[in-house]
Structure 1
């Protein structure tokens, strides 16, 4: 149907262009402006449920930041093999899968129906980076012969990691034959326990969960002497206490 647009100079008043009538029976069941959050390395599933799509109409997925057409119908038009679309005839759901999601995949995606004019819904994809954190600071000092427990807390996970590996330097200790070392995993945490530590247990320990940024700590085994780092910390504490005492004395003098 051809639309006639009058010459504005011939009009005596304001005119409005009529909104084209959308010639389709299709309708979306997926809410507009939905948000999907996944962590790095996992698969994101962006759903688009649309009913009564005519034979001459197609459903496409478009990345809005660069208007890149990712899929048209069941066909993928992207060189990135991580993108794939699946269709469920039962639920009329066109789902865009983004495998091994990365932070640069975040953004707005549009599921568009090729009606006239086109219609669609938007989905915002958030991709977060999970991290590990070992409590107690980057340096730990333990007396020889005692026991130590390193606790690795998992943060920003959208789903539990498939594994959490512990390394002593470059050596993985999860399945070590050394019966003094045990690893205990629970929801959101992993604990490395070492009993009766020896000098050989000193060094760098790393907690490496799946699809997450690792965390490390340096373990120092001492034999009664006070490490230089601990001496510096003690000296700093003494200086702090003296400074606070001096400030308190000055305040008291001023108040007299």
Structure 2
């Protein structure tokens, strides 16, 4: 009986304990690594997972959306050639490379270690598209004689736009035109800002203004140059629009009529 007990303990150590390593000594994830990754549409992105004490285990990447096995070790197991396993020998980092990512690639990916059962570490990928915004769109009302001040923002572009062009009613704005008083200031960075200023606005300056970054979609705004403060919408200088004034007069008339007929 004693021999059977010793044999059973030996089997227990072999079959069970080796599969459940002591915390901190067996393979485990470096959780100090970032779990959130952001990529740009069409620009290669890498998800990185750091594993310590891997030993003879293997690391895999699984896509949560469809429980699809993408990579095992340094081998890629999916037919989608945009995905690739990356690992430099004698390092702790295991990466999943995604070429030409699309918005649909956003979601949860899990880095797994081949213990029994496997242990996993989820990472979150967000793929964003370049976007162009003109502050105050779709409509801006300005007084005749004042300055038209338009601000265009370009976000999530693969790089700052090499060129920023503005057009008025589908014609590129000529800063050397006889009209004068037109200036453009562009500040490039992770978020590129382009400010178009047109001094001494006249009715012919009304129309559709379009900001056209060379590496992102265009954005437009309709500018109305009015002779006096427009009753239905007032420009506040920050691109916001107020409709309160247009409601005051009708409301006062309604209240007066109510008093008369009560």
**TMscore range, shorter length:** 0.5 to 0.7
Output one character per residue of 1:194-244: Cα deviation in whole Å (capped at 9) or x when no partner.
56789997654332457755421235678x7x9xxx68879x988633322
Q: CA deviation at 1:81?
A: 3.5
Shift of 1:66: 0.9
Aligned match of 1:27: 28
Two-structure CA RMSD over aligned residues (Å): 4.4
Matches within 5 A, 1:30-179: 30=31, 34-55=35-56, 57-89=57-89, 91-140=91-140, 148-154=148-154, 157=155, 161-163=159-161, 165-168=164-167, 178=176
Q: Which of 231, 237, 251 in structure 2 is aligned with 1:244?
A: 251
TM-score for the superposition, normalised by structure 2: 0.63
* CA pair 195-249 structure 1, distance change in 2 beyond 3 A: closer
Q: Answer yes or no: is the 8 Å Cα contact 2:42–2:101 preserved in 1.
A: yes
Superimposed CA distance per residue, residues 4-29 of structure 1 (whole angstroms, 9 cap, x where no aligned partner): xxxxxxxxxxxxxxx95426632221
TM-superposed CA distance for 1:62, in Å, is 0.8
216 and 47 in structure 1: CA distance in 2 versus 1, 3 angstrom threshold: same
Deviates more, 1:33-42 or 1:73-82: 33-42
Q: In the alignment, which of 189, 195, 218 is matched to residue 191 of structure 1?
A: 195
3-state secondary structure, aligned to 2:85? strand
Rate the CA distance shift 1:243–1:205 in 2: closer, same or farther, 3 A: closer
Aligned partner (choices 216, 220, 233) of residue 220 of structure 2: 216
Gapped runs of 5+ residues in structure 1? 1-18
Whether the 8 Å CA contact 1:161–1:210 is kept in 2: the answer is: no
Summarize deviations over 1:137-157 as a string: whole Å, max 9, x none.
Answer: 334567899863321134xx4
CA 1:99–1:210: 2 relative to 1, 3 Å = farther
**Cα separation, 1, equivalents of 2:61 and 2:149:** 49
| Distance in 2, Cα, partners of 1:244 & 1:153 | 38
Change (3 A) 1:142 1:45: same
SS where residue 252 of structure 2 aligns? helix
Cα distance change of structure 1 residues 88 and 219 upon mapping to structure 2, 3 Å threshold: same
